[in-house]
Structure 1
């Protein structure tokens, strides 16, 4: 049985399994049949580390290839020169926490109530966002 509080690796594995299911356009019945045949479980939540590895190996054998994300931070080089240092700071903090651009945009949305891409934020909004992300990073490091 799986742990009650998933580890980061477990979360990544389960996300990869579900992405493979989506990318291979599997029906729910087919997906559950694979889980049963490969790991003798009815739900991916019940997979242990060995089971997750077996299922991922099987899905790769079925033709699934994990898609690498394009460089989501590439826009920084094209940004206005006065905003580039703040955008780089946000990028580095996000990378150190293991999150992406969408996380930063979500944090900005929660902070301001306005949904806006990082590219469209002014210097003041970026400054506030960098502070929020830095405090979040520090609190997560202290929690470890």
Structure 2
């Protein structure tokens, strides 16, 4: 089985950042794995090649760690769970309307008595929010025409 696209990308990034010539790179592939191309590697061999590049001094930027999202303060982390899909929809609608994300907490507290939006897991309450925001979005769209 061929390596994943992300593994191939990491291999080629490492090759470039280590400033390996095509000849040196192919020599490594042939010497360690008896192949002429990274596409001929299996998944384990691709990991081994990446580790070999690390041993030669390559330092991947993210090295498999979850990349932190860059935000402008307009982002809330939604935890997996039964209400996550509805919560994401509320946030998408909220964003589409151009509302300040920090004000969603005040709305949820006033309307449902829950201090933070992320803690609102009642599907009926979330449905009420979704319906209202969809109506506002529709109304906003017709007003612009």
Pick the TM interval, shorter chain: 0.3 to 0.5
Q: What TM-score, normalized to structure 2? A: 0.46
Q: Which has the higher helix share?
A: 1
Under a length normalisation based on structure 1, what TM-score does the superposition of the two structures give?
Answer: 0.46
